[in-house]
Amino acid sequence: MRYYPIYLDIRDKRCVVIGGGDVAERKVFSLLNAGAKVTVVSPAVTAVLKGISEAGRLEIKERPFSKRDLKGAFLAYAATDNEDINYKISEEARKMGVLLNIVDKPEMCDFILPSVVERGPLSIAISTGGASPAFAKRLRLEMEEMYGEEYSLFLEIMAAIRRKLLTKEVESVKKRKFFNKLASSSIPEMIKVGRWKDVDRTIISLLGEDFSIASLGIKKA
């Protein structure tokens, strides 16, 4: 295995995107969604990026890349179509210990991005190690069908149950037993077809009336 699979917490961390086109836009959105503090460096940027900057969510430096742009950065993206600039960014990033991704150049990257399925707190990352992004996309589309929005609600229920159980004196062995049974239950399928009474019955049979959907504060879809 060439790559080490990991989920990074980049909240409030400085991340730099060098480039101002459509590809840079996509990188910016993913970074902002993860809570990063983002700086874009490019002589020209899209109208969308300018709009985000005017809303105060993004810093833009409308000029060519300089090595000082990477100072204090946690990670960076090189989203330019100039190989000489990309090479310069790569050299400076390595000197400064900044994690770098150069778009469409996996051999020059410190990290690559998986294809991701997201359903609320559920995140399924798919990677072929750069061998076939097209196949990773195919798997993502298949998993999007397999894991619908019902899993987002299911995990919301599980999180609410976990929070409530923490306020009660329940042995850890019993807690594990409850969660294992809930995790292997058909609750997601019930949610998908709107069988909320069955969801309620399943949870109450394990945990009691205190854990009904209403008492957990879950809003049904």
The domain that contains 82 carries what CATH number?
Answer: 3.40.50.720
Does some domain include residue 125?
A: no
Calculate the CA dihedral of residues 133, 139, 142, 148 and round it to 10 degrees.
Answer: -90
Distance of alpha carbon 79 from alpha carbon 49, whole angstroms = 14
Q: What residues form DSSP beta bridges with 115?
A: 126
Among 113, 142, 176, residue at a domain's last position: 113
Does an H or E element contain 197, and which?
helix 196-207
* Average pLDDT for 191-213: 95
Q: Which residues of 131-166 are buried (b: 16+ CB within 10 A; e: fewer)?
A: eebeebeebbeeeeeebeebbbbbebbbebbeeebe
The whole domain housing 79 covers: 14-113
Domains identified in the chain, total number: 2
Tell me the average pLDDT of the chain. 94
Distance of alpha carbon 133 from alpha carbon 140, whole angstroms = 10
Position with higher pLDDT, 47 vs 221:
47
Among 60, 94, 113, residue at a domain's last position: 113
Coil, helix or strand at residue 16? strand
* Average pLDDT for 74-97: 95
* Average pLDDT for 164-179: 86
| Residue 88 clears pLDDT 80, i.e. is over it | yes
What confidence category does residue 133 fall into, taking pLDDT thresholds of 50, 70 and 90? Answer: confident
